[in-house]
Amino acid sequence: MRRFYILFLIVLSYSCQDTKTTKKTTTQETKKEVQIAQKDTLDKKEKTYPKGTRQNPMIGSQAELKPFLTQYGKENPETKVRFETRFGNFEVELFRDTPLHRANFIMLVKNEYFNTTQFHRVSPNFVVQGGNNDTQTTSINRARMGNYLLPNEAKSKYKHIRGAFSSAKYTEQNISNASAPFEFFIVQPQRGAHHLNGDHTVFGRVTRGMNVIDKINQLEVDGSEWPLENVYMKVEIIE
């Protein structure tokens, strides 16, 4: 009987030890899983909201526009972007002395706004215009960024020559020629489009790949100059 009691205590001891070890291991694994989950969440946040941006809405009001974009421009000094299309790639250099337009465009690129949009207007021997879409996604993304207009920053030294990268604008009740923040156009013909000088802000130029613009400008369009074949874009920062 005594021998049986000693054997029982030994078994009980091992049983308690195994349980304790299991709990310890389980706790360590749980902590590790939590750490991994937290890291994944952080990585996703960093990818969704790059440095210098903030969550919805990006720009709360027109009054907040200048200070916000001025600060954003200081924190995000990039000036070169690459467009990828099914016709090839082209590159654009943004001008530093149109600071609000440059900062706004960089902000949109870093938040991947343009990656669900397309070249929605093609005017033969004139311009190709991008930054819009006919889906609800674009409207949602615009609302997320904010409701605002960019003050005209047209400089006399920047003309609407071939390859000029300029900002579209709303035509109604816009006596100040303020720019629509989400759409841009590129001048295609050799003669340029100088009748637009001053009315639209040229804030960059195509530095490589104008042959891609020429191809897009040759597309067949409907009555509103919307291409019959969709031309989507992906825009990324070069430097």
Burial class (CB in 10 A: 0-12, 13-18, 19+), 213: buried
Beta-carbon contacts of residue 72 (< 8 Å; ≥ 6 apart) = 52, 53, 103, 106, 107
pLDDT the model gives residue 57: 62
pLDDT the model gives residue 160: 98
Note whether 90 and 188 are within 8 A (CB).
no
* pTM across the whole model: 0.77
pLDDT the model gives residue 87: 98
pLDDT the model gives residue 37: 37
238, two tokens: 């070069």
d(CA 5, CA 184): 87
Q: Under CATH, to which class is 62-237 assigned?
A: mainly beta
pLDDT the model gives residue 170: 83
pLDDT the model gives residue 175: 83
pLDDT tens figures, 185-228? 999 999 999 999 999 999 999 999 999 999 999 999 999 999 99
pLDDT the model gives residue 174: 79
Residues of the chain with pLDDT under 70: 1-57, 173
pLDDT the model gives residue 134: 87
pLDDT the model gives residue 2: 42
pLDDT the model gives residue 173: 64
**Residue 157: half-sphere exposure toward Cβ, Cα within 13 Å:** 4
pLDDT the model gives residue 4: 41
